[in-house]
Amino acid sequence: MQNPEAKKLVSIKNLTLTFNAGKKNEKTALEDVSFDIYEGETFGLVGESGSGKTTLGRTVLKLYDPASGSIEFDGHDINKMKKKELADFRSKAQMIFQDPQASLNGRLTVSNILGEGLDEAGFTKNKEERRKKILELLHMVGLNEDHASRYPHEFSGGQKQRIGIARALAVQPKFVIADEPISALDVSVQAQVVNLLAKLQKEQGLTYLFIAHDLAMVKYLSDRIGVLHWGKLVELGTADQVYNHPLHPYTKSLLSAVPVPDPVKEKAHHVKSYDPSFEKDGQERHMVEMETGHFVLATDEEAAKYKADQK
Ligand SMILES: Nc1ncnc2c1ncn2[C@@H]1O[C@H](COP(=O)(O)OP(=O)(O)OP(=O)(O)O)[C@@H](O)[C@H]1O
């Protein structure tokens, strides 16, 4: 948590969710899950495929009804919200999806995709203002005016994800669930999208629930991490605690699948610095892609070692 005084933005209590309840194919996807997400933090949620991460994200956005338990957003139970409160919640809490292609309407231009969000939130009084806001959103995510009239299929995966991010931010949310936002992207652009998310969080004071199966990336992004295993939260702690002193055997097994970077032994695939550089503990770092496909953040000295090792 960046600020120990921060208040709870999302509070999940004893959440249980069952698909196909009472049927032969009944499946309890979440069981008695409780945790809080504080304003301004990034909460990383990790677990293997099928552990319930996406289901949890969707339930927090009120896309699924839990069997029991509660979810509070800004102090209000989302399952007891009245129409106006619910509409407000829907714009305050947004999602960025794993597959940017599938989450963007292919029949709309980028301008209309972003404009739709602005219209929904009632942020556009007239055409000129709408156009200006669309350009602002494009610039915010590193795109430009020329991109506005194009369709999603005309963009690369990384650019599509930038549009997905701009779409989520059009309604000025406080809370963003990023559900494996870089998994579908080419490894060479993953770090750029992560940097963009980190930059936007700083600029706009966003709170993130960052869902991933890769503990290595989550460690660098998250203030705290929760580990889901078969629908249960088996570990919860600061990124450092979970990564360096895991308590649960499942977390340990997840970690053993994560290669621990060793500049001497492990060869890097690319050594790249991005602008703005990734920051950790107040120090600028290089994002280095390892041969295993994982990323590590390296100091100047470490990056130089990786580079030398590549030759
Ligand atoms: N709509 C649904 N109907 C029935 N079962 C579902 C549904 N959605 C998910 N499940 C089941 O619930 C469990 C949790 O799925 P979920 O998609 O939340 O996992 P996940 O951790 O996000 O996995 P992945 O990383 O593969 O996306 C799985 O066993 C899945 O098959």
Burial class (CB in 10 A: 0-12, 13-18, 19+), 127: exposed
Tell me which CATH code domain 8-310 carries.
3.40.50.300
Is-contact 224 236, C-beta < 8 A?
A: yes
Taking only the tens place, the pLDDT of each residue in 69-105 is 999 999 999 999 999 999 899 989 999 998 888 889 9
Name the residue with the closest Cα to ligand 1, atom 1: 19
CA dihedral 129, 112, 169, 172 (to 10 degrees): 40
Q: Which of 179-188, 196-205, 276-285 comes out lowest in average pLDDT?
A: 276-285
Is-contact 92 37, C-beta < 8 A?
A: no
Average pLDDT, the chain: 85
Q: Which of 55, 64, 218 to mutate to test the pocket of ligand 1 (most atoms within 8 A of CB)?
A: 55
Domains of the chain by residue range: 8-310
What is the pTM (predicted TM-score) of this model? 0.82
Q: Which of 28, 54, 214, 254 to mutate to test the pocket of ligand 1 (most atoms within 8 A of CB)?
A: 54
What pLDDT is stored for residue 287 in this prediction?
A: 67
Q: Strand 93-96 relative to strand 175-179: parallel, antiparallel, unpaired? A: parallel
Q: How far apart are CA 27 and CA 21, in angstroms?
A: 7
User: Sorting pLDDT into bands at 50, 70 and 90, what band is 281?
Assistant: low
Name the residue with the closest Cα to ligand 1, atom 8: 55
Q: Which of 68-77, 129-138, 296-305 comes out lowest in average pLDDT?
A: 296-305
Q: What are the CA-CA distances from residue 229 to residues 16, 35, 46, 69, 75 (Å)?
A: 14, 15, 9, 18, 28
Ligand 1 mean position to 199 CA, how many Å? 30
Sign of CA dihedral 71, 74, 77, 79: negative
Ligand 1 mean position to 215 CA, how many Å? 19
